[in-house]
């Protein structure tokens, strides 16, 4: 509950931000929230710094909630849209997969999330996710395939894998082997930046 309140507080603050500064919302779970690292080391904060270095005056709001699923994020979209985001980075699904939830339900939730965000005036960057092989080949294949399927159905730009170059790399992850450390978060921020750059307006 506390992490949800923190995320909602960030969104409320974004509503009060200067109108001339467009908002990018990073909607996700603990990978976005930056579990285990200081807020300034989570990829949304690093992404904002990267944007500003490149001359883009966007405010990036971290709307990551640890443990969140696609169903949970779908329920809080009204809060996201109150920030009037220009772009929303949708980085969800990891907890659906880790809990073994039906891939079809996750896919439907992601389609609904993208559709509602667009109806609210936001452009969407969809981030893909993968699972470790111990979840079984049929499930992991179906899970990985859901993200490009959603991108095709909604015509949303797809970042193929949020943790590209980070997953499975001990030096870039915390002791749990799942959550990026500060170095890993920097790698994630650069991965997101490359997919986000074509969507930006100076």
C-alpha to C-alpha distance for 67 and 83, rounded to whole angstroms = 22
DSSP SS3 for 161: coil
Where are the strands (E) in the chain, listed by range? Answer: 23-28, 59-64, 87-91, 123-127, 158-159
Which of these is catalytic: 30, 41, 66, 68?
Answer: 30
- Residue 176 annotated as catalytic: yes
Which of these is catalytic: 41, 68, 96, 179?
Answer: 179
- Residue 108 annotated as catalytic: no
Q: Are 37 and 181 in contact (CB under 8 A)?
A: yes
CB neighbour list of residue 142: distance below 8 Å, 6 or more residues apart: 103
- Residue 30 annotated as catalytic: yes
Which residues are identified as catalytic? 30, 176, 179
């Amino acid at each position: 509950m506390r992490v949800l309140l923190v995320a909602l507080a960030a969104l409320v603050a974004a509503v009060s931000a200067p109108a001339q500064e467009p908002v990018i919302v990073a909607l996700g779970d603990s990978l976005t929230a930056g579990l285990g690292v200081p807020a300034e080391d989570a990829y949304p904060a690093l992404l904002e710094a990267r944007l500003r270095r490149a001359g883009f005056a966007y405010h990036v709001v971290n709307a990551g909630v640890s443990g969140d699923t696609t169903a949970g994020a779908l329920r809080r979209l009204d809060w996201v849209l109150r920030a009037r985001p220009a772009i929303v980075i949708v980085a969800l699904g990891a907890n659906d997969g880790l809990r073994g939830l039906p891939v079809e339900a996750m896919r439907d939730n992601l389609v609904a999330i993208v559709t509602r965000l667009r109806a609210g005036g936001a452009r969407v960057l969809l981030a893909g996710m993968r699972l470790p092989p111990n979840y079984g080949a049929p499930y992991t294949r179906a899970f990985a395939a859901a993200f490009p399927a959603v991108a095709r159905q909604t015509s949303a730009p797809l970042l193929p894998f949020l943790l590209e170059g980070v997953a499975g790399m001990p030096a870039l992850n915390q002791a749990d082997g799942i959550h990026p450390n500060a170095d890993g978060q920097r790698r994630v921020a650069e991965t997101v930046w490359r997919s986000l750059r074509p969507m930006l307006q100076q």
